[in-house]
Amino acid sequence: MGFLEAVILGVVQGLTEFLPVSSSAHLRIVGELLPNAADPGATFTAITQLGTETAVLIYFRRKIARIISAWFRSLGSRSPAAGPVRNGARPVGVRRTDPDVRLGWVIIVGTIPIVIVGFLAQDQIRGVFRNLWLVAIVLIVFGVLLGVADRLGRTSKGYDELTYRDGLLLGLAQMLALVPGVSRSGATTTAGRALGYERPVVAEVSFLLAVPAVFGSGLYELYTALTEPDAGAPFGALETAVATVIAFGVGLAVIAFLMAYIKRRSFLPFVIYRIALGAVLLVLLSVGVLQPF
């Protein structure tokens, strides 16, 4: 595969990373449909995700900085509530019940499941999880689950009601995204809507929850690719870098679009798209146009 394929896959990564349609599934499928058909691989996927997650850091930079600052300052607070204001200045410590502090802990708690399973299931992630039959099935199944959760889920909970238990449940949902087709944002959105959180809250928490896991995975794969280069990899370092930069630019635009979209509309179009894509993929596999591996 060359630069043209890398550019195409970089655009695909940027377009699909934050939508609940599974970017890893799209990279897997589009890679097979390109002229030089091949699976881009888990390494290429993880590294290009560094581009889209950098877009998250840029878009949510103020909120992320506030969360980090509040979390560290809360470590110096000896009581759940901060002390009184004296001489017009607040104490250095931050309440442990502060929403930003709690969100920081939720992100930490929610990251643990995917770190553990991602480390233990490396062979499956690079192998059986990339079977296109499995990808097609989970596209449909998790599309239906997203539709049900979004339709029936309550919309009353905001950041103030985010609990550590819910953070763990969102983390367990994110863990499922190790299977291409599930979708990181799709799984966490489904869980969040089922738990009763508002769409913008669910989307934002989903973005923030993905940052540690994706950067950890991407940097690990980048280190491995540089120290133990695979001669059989479909893309070289330069092509992968180009795709990552493109994914960053496209991903930044998609975040802005999605955050504006979900304030007014439901996830139904993405549900329909997932089910249709999964059905088409099953047909292509059945008639031999595509091979599962």
Torsion, Cα of 37, 39, 40, 41 (10° steps):
-160
Residue 275's pLDDT band, with cuts at 50, 70 and 90, is very high
Supply the pLDDT for residue 195.
Answer: 93
Supply the pLDDT for residue 86.
Answer: 45
Q: Give the number of residues written for the chain.
A: 293
pLDDT mean over 18-46: 89
The pair of three-digit structure tokens given for residue 144, joined into one six-digit string: 């239906």
Report in angstroms the alpha-carbon separations of 176 from 45, 113, 188, 190, 265. 16, 10, 9, 12, 25
Supply the pLDDT for residue 77.
Answer: 60
Supply the pLDDT for residue 36.
Answer: 80
How far apart CA 75 and CA 90 sit, in angstroms, is 16
pLDDT mean over 108-132: 90
Rounded percentage of the chain residues whose pLDDT exceeds 90? 66
State pLDDT tens for residues 75-116. 866 555 444 444 444 445 667 678 899 999 999 999 999 999
Q: Mean pLDDT, the chain, as a whole number?
A: 89
The pair of three-digit structure tokens given for residue 155, joined into one six-digit string: 């919309």
How far apart CA 279 and CA 268 sit, in angstroms, is 17
Asked whether the predicted pLDDT for residue 222 surpasses 70, the reply is yes
pLDDT mean over 68-76: 88
State pLDDT tens for residues 155-179. 778 888 899 999 999 999 999 989 9
